[in-house]
Homo-oligomer: A and B are copies of this chain.
Amino acid sequence: MELAEPRILKYNGREYPCCASLTMGIIGGKWKTVILYHLINGKLRYNELRKCMPTVTERTLALQLQALEEDGIILREVFHKKPPLKVEYSLTDLGSTLVPLIQAIANWGDSVAEN
């Protein structure tokens, strides 16, 4: 059987075989949509996010935040230099274009939850 050549899509140095998988490459994984969901209503500090997501470990949260920042989805702002006392995360302009998507993801999950 012959398989067709896929058209390769690129984003931020990574390659994807389909527009759907590109999106999933950016917001996929266990925690990224949860982070974005909590950022819909505005900036949150690192520890505020932790309180919203008590079951994620600190290391994983930090990794996911870095990945989202690297992909241009969220902005990381540090206040008061030397020891970084205050860090705020918010959606970038690009990240804001994901809001309807995140909301739809959350709503669908809500609608099918059994509890």
Contact = CB atoms under 8 A, between A and B. Distances in A.
Given A34-B20, A105-B101, A8 B110 contact: no
A22 B8 CA distance: 29
Interface residues of A, number: 54
Nearest to A100: B104
A98 B108 contact: yes
A41 interface: no
A8 to B, nearest CB: 7
A30 B23 CA distance: 10
B104 A11 contact: no
Interface string A29-63: 11101101100000000010011111100000000
Interface of A: 1-6, 8-11, 16-26, 28-31, 33-34, 36-37, 47, 50-55, 94, 97-98, 100-102, 104-115
